[in-house]
Each structure stands twice: as structure tokens, then as C-alpha cells.
Amino acid sequence: MAKVGYARVSSVGQSLDVQLAKLKDCDKVFQEKRTGTTAERPEFKACMDYLREGDILVISRLDRLARSTLHLTQIADSLRQKKVELKVIDQAIDTTTPTGRLMFNMLSAIAEFETEIRKERQLDGIEAAKEKGVEFGRKAKLTPAQVEELKSRRAAGVLIKDLMAEYKLSKASVYRLLGESPTMLVD
């Protein structure tokens, strides 16, 4: 029976140190810096492949495994089929007991709810900012007058590569502004 740890942070700039300290008693620890919502988590996959009957998967918090109740439940089912237990340090969850399984399901639902509330608040904030006139996205490189000038110069036969150099734009940007799709012809 091995205690196998899994630690994850969402971005490269974050540190795994706190989680790794909590997992110091594990026999093996898998760690990665990837968002929980992405399907590609190679270290998590390696961890799941490594686990054997009788092992215990140890994590610091439930949200280190997944962002949705459905995904957490799928992971718990996979662990149960492998006869692997789950221990969550910060929430004192141990799926070897009925109470631990209840806590697991309740906290995973709460974690998903918090994520959805956070998304709603973010969307509300974006909407409020738009109502105040805040513009999102990259600022246009050309004024409407420059776009018209670019179009008339192209209509007059100026080559795409020359327009790119003159307006300091990529080929894709020039074609987008012209409302054309690039052709296989090179000019």
C-alpha cells in the first residue's frame, strides 16, 4: 500500500511549495502546473496510471483534482474501481468511511458552485465596464481612414507585402482589413 500524492497549481507563476509540504509523507508525488479545467494533465494521468489496489491518493484540497462535481465524481468512481482510497488533507476527507464519502460529495458540489458564482461575478463586471464605455481587446492599429486608404491602395494594385511593410501589419491583418481571404497566389 502506497501513499501517492498529487499537487497542482493553475499557472506557471504559482508555487507548489505549500502543497508539496503537505504531501511530504507520501511515498511518491506527482506535480504539475496546469489548469484543472483542461483535459490535458499528463502528470495527473500518470498518477492515475500509477495507482494500484490498496493505494491512497492524497491531495491537499478537492479543487486540485477538478473544477466540477461531475469530474470529481468520475475520478472518485475510477478510484473506487481500482480499490484506491482518497484522502483530502485540508478538508479532512477520507473516502474509506461513509461520512468521508458524504463530505466528498458535499464539498465537491460547493467547489463547483463557487466556481460558477465567480464566473457570474466576472461576467457582471465585464458587462458593467462595457456599459461605462470600457473597450476590451486590442486597440485597432489603423484608424478607419487608414483602413479606407489601405483598401484604395490595394485596389490600385499595391502588393500585399508592400501594404504589410507600409502599415506594419501581418499578412492576415491586411487580408482581414481588406475583407478578403488569402489566396494561394503570391504577389
CA-to-CA distance for 75 and 94, rounded, in angstroms? 14
> Which residue, chain included where needed, has cell 504531501?
23
What number of residues does the chain have? Answer: 187
The C-alpha angle with vertex 62 and arms to 57 and 66, in degrees rounded to 5, equals 95
CA-to-CA distance for 111 and 34, rounded, in angstroms? 18
Main-chain phi, psi angles of 25, to 5 degrees: -85, 0
CA-to-CA distance for 177 and 151, rounded, in angstroms? 8
Q: Which amino acid is at 77?
A: D
Contacts of 12 (CB under 8 A, 6+ apart): 33
Q: Which has the closest alpha carbon to 59: 17, 103, 29, 100?
A: 29
Catalytic machinery residues: 10
